[in-house]
Amino acid sequence: MPSSRTWPEESLVRRCVQGERMAWRVLHRRYEPVARAFLRRLGVSPSELDDICQDVFLRMFRALPKFRGEAELKTWLYRLCVTEARRTRRHAAVAQSLRKLLLLSPRERSTAGLELTGESASRKLQLGLSTLKEAERAVFVMYELEGMPGRQIAEVLSCPEATVWRRLHYARRSFCAALEAQPVSGGSA
């Protein structure tokens, strides 16, 4: 019997699907450096690399039973990495918009000649949220503000997870457009 390090890919996948812990360790040891290097080349920052790589392997763990073997496992891993890197970039763009809105530094405030108070930031946030359709707003709030994972949101809303991601995509676009369209107003009205 071959050593676990030399298990062919097909055997490794089958053993993982059957729940063999050693096979999962072997899979992770074999493919984690590949995923890590690819994520770095995709522009994932060193500070986020560990978390995103872990997310890729969590997605792989959940979806491996559905892997049909029509492509190499490495090819599928690359797709997971691309998807996760894209999701992270989108999340970062929304987070940056929120930070810009809520956490203007005193220097930026004085340069703009405007004072953004917690109250005015809250109003602006509510205004941005009010432009969203009800279903998109629910997904946006749960994902972006509450930090819930997509799978859990799908369970809460009784819809497919793909629907959650579609709604989130449209909600982010609408929310960012609404924030950009609104000038920062002074804190004392």
CATH of the domain at 164: 1.10.10.10
Q: Is 65 exposed, middle or buried (0-12, 13-18, 19+ CB in 10 A)?
A: exposed
In the chain, how many H helices and how many E strands? 9, 0
Total domains in the fold of the chain = 2
Q: Answer yes or no: do 109 and 177 share one domain.
A: yes
Answer yes or no: pTM beyond 0.85.
no
Residue 82 shares a structural domain with residue 10? yes
Whether 62 maps to a domain, the answer reads yes
- CB atoms closer than 10 angstroms to residue 183: 9
- Three-state secondary structure call for residue 37: helix
pLDDT tens-digit series, residues 131-173: 888 888 888 888 887 777 888 889 888 899 999 999 999 998 8
Residues 6+ apart with CB under 8 A from 138: 157
CA gyration radius, the chain: 21
Domain coverage including residue 61: 4-87
User: Tens digits of per-residue pLDDT, 58-111?
Assistant: 999 988 888 887 778 888 899 899 888 888 887 777 777 776 666 554 444 444
Same domain, 83 and 109: no
- Does the residue 13 lie in any domain? yes
Residues 136 and 166 in one domain: yes
